[in-house]
Amino acid sequence: MKFIQTQNAPSAIGPYSQAVVVNGMVYTSGQIALTPEGGDELLREDVVIQATRVMQNLEAVLNASGSSLESVLKTTIFLASMDDFALVNEVYAKAFGSHKPVRSTVAVKTLPKNALVEIDAIALVKV
């Protein structure tokens, strides 16, 4: 088991790791729209800006884990409002391109730091 920490994505804001690699798989923690330095200014922006930063953070954690967006098998999207579903889908589709991992999307009452969107992933580690 190898725990992942990269400066190219925000540090965990609690007692957990950005990701863990085990048996050729990487499991990421949920990413919200914090900057790699931990700034929360994007959390005051709209869901498109937040989702874009979330995908950048997720990609940075995957890359640090020896993986990539193209190796993602499953994601979970947490939304503060299902009204944002279509907008987040657009950002998500652009980030993944023709790759279409399986996914769950759920609406939640509140996300950390009142974020509008959070995404985690399970991916293969490149051999």
Q: What pLDDT sits at residue 2?
A: 97
Cβ neighbours of residue 36 closer than 8 Å, sequence gap 6 or more: 7, 8, 9, 10, 57, 60
Compute the distance between CA of residue 29 and CA of residue 12 in angstroms, rounded to an integer. 8
Q: What confidence tier does 127 reach under pLDDT thresholds 50, 70, 90?
A: low
Is the pTM for the entire model greater than 0.75? yes
Compute the distance between CA of residue 8 and CA of residue 25 in angstroms, rounded to an integer. 20
Total domains in the fold of the chain:
1
Range of the domain at 20: 2-124
Nearest one of 106, 119, 107 to 34, comparing CA atoms: 119
Q: Are 63 and 16 in contact (CB under 8 A)?
A: no
Predicted confidence (pLDDT) per residue in 74-116, tens digit: 999 999 999 999 999 999 999 999 999 999 999 999 999 999 9
Q: What pLDDT sits at residue 13?
A: 86
CATH for 18 = 3.30.1330.40
Q: What pLDDT sits at residue 115?
A: 98
